[in-house]
Structure 1
């Protein structure tokens, strides 16, 4: 087949896996990204459904949406490829082509068969019990002890995104409990901290800020850079990871202490690979574990004050002795409603939309954990519905 003919087919109405293989040999596999559409996207969706186990169950509709992107990143992660979420030549090569029995659309039945079908219905929705939710997993827990009251997939380890930072903050608070001067120490941002990707506190390399102030930069705008800076500053005070007695990197020592603290709290389905929550192998927690961790956070008077703060202004000191002001805004949208006072949001493509929320009514306190909601609005709706159910319980 001529090269030009292959290109015409790519832009036509139909793309077959045979053509895809031929195009791949000529280096003409289509580069696809979020928002693209067309027959090539349909082929990508069929391949992802066939290659991933369990199958993501993508609808083969030719629309490269968030679901297709998440499935593609999962495939890239499994194959050790850069997790770009884009279908590049290396990804197409790893996907291969569909066999004769793979990805085929089922035969279309005759109209009289379809029109004679009687649709079966499930029983009517119950009027009692907790509300229906959109999240992969959730937990409702006692806000003072973290004891699980009710949950769905609450013991399943899942990606947790920036809810990780609750443990980062808790380690700093524990250091301050032993030495109150720790919160007054100036933390100078390194190049590694400044260049940590994702959500940021906006502190630049060479600038410094007191540790007590940086807790707001960590927990309000969810600064990944702040998490790295804390780990670098305080990590040297902790023991090295087990099996690496010579580890000198303070960040690695800090993460090792995060895991020791998780063990001490009884978080049996939690493991940390970094201090901020960016995707990493072996970085996960269960909703029930995060409820226990959140209870420890709100029990600490310093951290309770931080996570309930909507906005915080701070002054940064530059290497040239010039001061610069920043404002940190809390990402937790529940804080504009009376009765909610924390704790932490988290969002990545793999983890979905996560939320650890703390609420009180009189002397009663509850914690709700949402993991893997499909949208930001969904996590807040799930949380508020679960709180409403929780307040009605004796």
Structure 2
């Protein structure tokens, strides 16, 4: 440990588990309870987005392909992109509906479509979740297991701060992923048998435009307020994860504290 780090007081962080790591090398910087397994709420959508992009690219399909929204997707509870049954939405648009307003409806719609693409003879959402878990295995995220593509506590998604950070490091190397999570607002037109409407989705990450390049927020009663963030300034780059911060607003301050601490003393 360097003398400067010994002399510097580590910031107090309320999150039960947290980690910081250098983005590209995934070099561990600092953390607390980073290997404790917890529910990760909508941080699950990092893997959902990663898996969709991977499958579209692998099969040489187009992000311009249109998905018809099922009643199951439209009627799911929780955070929403306000999709309606019968809507026809491009995959590219749905990925923004997934990652900006954290649409559980977008998560189900994408899982249904990609699951069918992978295996027409299997229940599509189960097939998609199986691919999420296969990706976790390939990336050596040994403490991670997904039961659904959205992160609601109806069936539990488990991971650790370290595993989420490693996943995020892989994901931000994909230009499409990086572009989506760094978008502050996104507008598109949605076609429905009842007419056409324009929607605008706003990113739940309020730290964008402050050096933070985004990734994902999350909250459920069991998981508490969570945040996975990516920041790049002055040739320094870091991924951070906070699981169960004391309050929603504290996540932003704690992310900033960890960046200041890490960029000054650890990176």
- When normalised by structure 2's length, the TM-score is 0.93
> Are 2:210 and 1:210 aligned?
no
The structure 2 residue matched to 1:176, chosen from 56, 59, 68, is 56
> Are 2:264 and 1:384 aligned?
no
The alpha carbon displacement at 1:281 in A equals 4.5
The alpha carbon displacement at 1:265 in A equals 0.6
Name the residue aligned to 2:214.
342
Name the residue aligned to 2:3.
none
> Are 2:235 and 1:363 aligned?
yes
SS in 2 for 1:359: strand
Q: Please, which runs of 5 or more residues in structure 2 have no aligned partner? A: 1-5
Name the residue aligned to 2:8.
128
> Are 2:190 and 1:316 aligned?
yes
The answer as to whether partners of 1:159 and 1:350 remain within 8 angstroms in 2 is yes
> 1 or 2, which has the higher strand percentage?
2
The structure 1 residue matched to 2:31, chosen from 145, 151, 157, is 151
The alpha carbon displacement at 1:129 in A equals 4.2
How many residue pairs match? The answer is: 261
1:253-268 equivalences in 2 (<5 Å): 253-268=127-142
The structure 1 residue matched to 2:71, chosen from 191, 195, 198, is 191
The alpha carbon displacement at 1:133 in A equals 0.5
The alpha carbon displacement at 1:127 in A equals 5.3
The alpha carbon displacement at 1:327 in A equals 0.2
SS in 1 for 2:93: helix
The alpha carbon displacement at 1:282 in A equals 4.4
Bigger RCO of structures 1 and 2 (CA < 8 A, at least 6 apart): 2
Name the residue aligned to 1:65.
none
Q: Please, which runs of 5 or more residues in structure 1 have no aligned partner? A: 1-125, 241-246
> Are 2:199 and 1:326 aligned?
yes
> Are 2:226 and 1:351 aligned?
no
Rounded to whole Å, the distance in 1 between the matches of 2:165 and 2:238 is 9
Rounded to whole Å, the distance in 1 between the matches of 2:108 and 2:78 is 12
The answer as to whether partners of 1:145 and 1:292 remain within 8 angstroms in 2 is no
The alpha carbon displacement at 1:336 in A equals 3.4
